[in-house]
């Protein structure tokens, strides 16, 4: 037992900061100083003007509100907001009402600035792991409540979104799939013809990307990672290697990045695309499913091959194993398994029904609800126990995505996200604000923001800002809108950028020791270059390549 414990200890992933003793107190002091400074300084005048502006483009105002300040007052102080224009009977009788006064535009701007400071702080803490992930997850709620940015009920609601239930549920489903051995049979079907790392990079990754254009990329990643972890462990065992981090990163991040970039392929790839389709319709230039595919599908296999090439070139030479042969590994594993039936068969039925529910009901009922039904069905069938959930589900990763959702809600509510977008647009060089070059500026803005906010929130915030810019720049609105929607898939650099990243981070554990095979810095190290490649492909292959050969309908 002592030997096993010491081995596990030496196998901890070496992160960016891991070799720097005593770094955590220094990082925390730096974070505290910068955060305090940002809280104390007055908000910029541009932010004060934005929250006081009538009907700002890019912010969805509730009924009865004309400005962001009104919207914030309506949420935080509804009684005073209602009485602002209408006195009550008590007022008329001269009875003084005790209630909080309405916030001014400057106070709302201060709130938005503090929200941006909290956002910067937690991204820094997630990136450096100066405190445990779970502690940072809770810190978000503490700070949002402490500074009065959202009521506690709204914070709870922001933490409990559909995507959070989906991530928790799919991590639990993956535990059930792995426990019954179903992952190995699924792997045989998917990997039976993939016989080397090169084939995995140049065939499997592009196929995953194209599949993610039509199926839930989150589900694909969640179903395949247990299979890949089995391939990883058996490959290590075959070559007498205890651990091969390079192989694990190649498998986990490769499939994650490939699935991320299936988004441009069709409107079915995610809610972000549906939001942009709605904006096009509202703008009087509706786009059909096939038209979207005509402009977007060619991006996907090209990007899939580039991701495969990049991951292969960067990581193959670092493999401790000689090579990998997924087909042989999976066949050998399945050969040792008992005959199909029993709990494995029940798990297969649950999985098939779950995938069908995602496809049929996902748009109307979300992904989280059906996934929780599947988890409960596994409990009823005695496939899982609560101990299995506690051991197999990375609850700190679920909390991390929940906290990211809450930050997105707060940034959107206070106007911080809109100000950030407008500030970015204002610093674009002139050449990026004219003609087809606007595509470059919009994609840079969207691709950057989507790493910090959910893709849907990013497109929802930016769509109303960038589409009017198209008319001013004399460029077709579809080009700008599609560039925005496509770039919202480029969330590769942070764990919180997309559920795919959170799922890969949470499920990427050694099947035997349970140690985490990825650290947060791996996403930065490999994800930033992939995002740069995605921008280059979007600009030079798509916008200035085959888009120039396609017809663009007249704008009414």
Is the separation of the CB atoms in 218 and 162 below 8 Å?
no
Q: What is the predicted pLDDT for the residue at 249? A: 95
Q: In 10 A of CB 277, how many CB atoms?
A: 18
Residue 258 lies in a domain: yes
Gap between the Cα atoms of 480 and 469, Å rounded: 8
Gap between the Cα atoms of 73 and 82, Å rounded: 10
Residue of 302, 297, 301 lying closest to 266 (CA atoms): 297
Residue 157 lies in a domain: no
H-only helix segments in 84-131: 89-92, 105-128
Residue of 137, 200, 190, 176 lying closest to 400 (CA atoms): 137
- Whether residues 217 and 116 share a domain: the answer is no
- Whether residues 121 and 171 share a domain: the answer is no
CA 225 to mean position of chain CA atoms: 17
- Whether residues 55 and 124 share a domain: the answer is yes
- Whether residues 125 and 175 share a domain: the answer is no
Residue 556 lies in a domain: no
Give 242's contacts (C-beta < 8 A, 6+ positions apart): 7, 11, 236
Q: What is the predicted pLDDT for the residue at 16? A: 47
- Whether residues 127 and 222 share a domain: the answer is no
| Total domains in the fold of the chain | 2
Helix, strand, or coil (residue 509): strand
Gap between the Cα atoms of 377 and 65, Å rounded: 45
Gap between the Cα atoms of 190 and 223, Å rounded: 11
Gap between the Cα atoms of 66 and 120, Å rounded: 29
Report the b/e string of 67-78 with b at 16+ CB within 10 A.
Answer: bbbbbbbbebbe
Q: What is the predicted pLDDT for the residue at 86? A: 54
Gap between the Cα atoms of 186 and 177, Å rounded: 10
Kindly give the interhelix angle for 152-159 and 133-146, rounded to the nearest 10 degrees. 150
Token pair listed for 104: 């001014």
Is the separation of the CB atoms in 488 and 448 below 8 Å?
no
Residue 87 lies in a domain: no
- Residue 553: enclosing H or E segment and its boundaries? none
Q: What is the predicted pLDDT for the residue at 94? A: 43
Q: What is the predicted pLDDT for the residue at 81? A: 63
- Whether residues 321 and 450 share a domain: the answer is yes
- Whether residues 377 and 305 share a domain: the answer is yes
Gap between the Cα atoms of 135 and 113, Å rounded: 23
- Whether residues 412 and 494 share a domain: the answer is yes
Range of the domain at 476: 164-549
Is the separation of the CB atoms in 105 and 48 below 8 Å?
yes
Look at the block and give the residue holding tokens 């549920």.
Answer: 169
Gap between the Cα atoms of 517 and 11, Å rounded: 9
- Whether residues 453 and 542 share a domain: the answer is yes
Residue 154 lies in a domain: no
Gap between the Cα atoms of 541 and 169, Å rounded: 38
Calculate the alpha carbon distances from 37 to 33, 143, 411 in Å.
6, 16, 19
Gap between the Cα atoms of 226 and 463, Å rounded: 37
Residue of 503, 489, 493 lying closest to 523 (CA atoms): 493
Residues, the chain: 556
Is the separation of the CB atoms in 135 and 77 below 8 Å?
no
- Whether residues 59 and 208 share a domain: the answer is no
Low-confidence ranges of the chain (pLDDT < 70): 1-23, 58, 79-100, 127, 183, 187-188, 270-271, 333-334, 359, 362-364, 366-367, 425, 457, 461, 472, 556
Residue 461 lies in a domain: yes
Gap between the Cα atoms of 157 and 395, Å rounded: 18
Token pair listed for 260: 């991320």
- Whether residues 408 and 501 share a domain: the answer is yes
pTM: 0.69
- The residue out of 149, 172, 207 marking a domain boundary is 149
Long-range contacts: 178-181, Cβ < 8 Å, 24+?
178/226, 178/229, 178/230, 178/392, 178/511, 179/383, 179/384, 179/388, 180/343, 180/344, 180/346, 180/347, 180/383, 181/337, 181/344
User: For the residues of 417-450, what is the DSSP string, one character each?
Assistant: HHHHHHHHHHTS-GGGGSGGGHHHHHHHHHHHHT
- Whether residues 396 and 298 share a domain: the answer is yes
pLDDT digits (tens, 9 = 90+) for 497-506: 788 888 898 8
Residue 5 lies in a domain: no
- φ, ψ at 116 (rounded to 5°): -65, -35
Helix, strand, or coil (residue 516): strand
Residue 248 lies in a domain: yes
């Amino acid at each position: 037992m002592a030997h096993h414990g010491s081995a596990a200890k030496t196998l901890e992933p070496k992160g960016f900061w891991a070799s720097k003793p005593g770094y955590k107190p220094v990082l925390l002091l730096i974070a505290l100083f910068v955060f305090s400074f940002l809280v104390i300084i007055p908000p910029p005048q541009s932010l004060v003007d934005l929250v006081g502006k009538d009907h700002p483009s890019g912010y969805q105002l509730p009924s009865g509100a004309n400005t962001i300040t009104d919207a914030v007052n309506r949420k935080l102080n509804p009684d005073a907001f209602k009485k602002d224009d209408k006195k009550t009977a008590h007022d008329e009788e001269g009875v003084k009402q005790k209630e909080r006064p309405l916030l001014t535009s400057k106070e709302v701007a201060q709130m938005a600035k503090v929200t941006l400071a909290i956002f910067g702080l937690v991204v820094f803490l997630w990136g450096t792991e100066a405190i445990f992930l779970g502690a940072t997850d809770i810190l978000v709620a503490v700070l949002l409540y402490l500074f009065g940015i959202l009521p506690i009920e709204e914070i709870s609601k922001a933490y409990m979104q559909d995507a959070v239930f989906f991530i928790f549920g799919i991590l639990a489903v993956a535990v059930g799939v792995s426990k019954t051995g179903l992952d190995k049979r699924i792997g045989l079907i998917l990997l039976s013809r993939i016989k080397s790392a090169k084939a995995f990079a140049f065939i499997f990754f592009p196929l995953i990307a194209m599949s993610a254009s039509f199926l839930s990329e989150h589900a694909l990643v969640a179903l395949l990672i247990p299979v890949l972890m089995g391939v990883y462990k058996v490959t290590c065992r075959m070559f007498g290697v205890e651990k091969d981090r390079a192989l694990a990163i190649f498998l986990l991040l490769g499939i994650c990045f490939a699935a991320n970039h299936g988004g441009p392929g069709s409107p079915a790839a995610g809610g972000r695309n549906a939001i942009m389709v709605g904006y096009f319709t509202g703008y009087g230039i509706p786009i059909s499913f096939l038209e979207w595919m005509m402009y977007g599908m060619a991006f996907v296999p090209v990007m899939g091959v580039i991701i495969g090439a990049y991951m292969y070139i960067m990581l193959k030479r670092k493999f401790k194993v000689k090579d990998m042969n997924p087909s042989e590994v999976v066949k050998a594993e399945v050969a040792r398994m008992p005959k199909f039936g029993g709990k494995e068969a029940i798990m297969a039925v649950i999985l098939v029904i779950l995938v069908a529910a995602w496809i049929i009901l996902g748009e109307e009922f979300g992904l989280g609800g059906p996934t929780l039904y599947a988890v409960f069905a596994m409990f009823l069938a005695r496939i899982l126990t609560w101990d299995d959930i506690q051991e197999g589900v990375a609850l700190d990763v679920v909390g991390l995505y929940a906290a990211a959702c809450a930050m997105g809600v707060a940034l959107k509510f206070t106007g911080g996200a809109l100000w950030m977008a407008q500030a970015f647009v204002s610093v674009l060089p002139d050449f990026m604000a004219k003609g087809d070059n606007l595509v470059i500026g919009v994609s840079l803005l969207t691709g950057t923001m989507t790493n910090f906010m959910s893709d849907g929130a990013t497109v929802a915030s930016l769509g109303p800002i960038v589409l009017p810019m198209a008319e001013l720049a004399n460029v077709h609105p579809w080009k700008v809108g599609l560039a925005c929607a496509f770039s919202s898939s480029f969330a590769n650099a942070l764990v919180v950028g997309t559920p795919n990243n959170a799922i890969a981070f949470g499920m990427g554990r050694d099947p035997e020791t349970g140690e985490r095979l990825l650290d947060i810095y791996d996403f930065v190290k490999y994800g930033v270059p992939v995002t740069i490649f995605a921008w280059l492909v979007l600009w030079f292959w798509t916008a200035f390549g085959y888009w120039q050969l396609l017809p663009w309908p007249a704008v009414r």
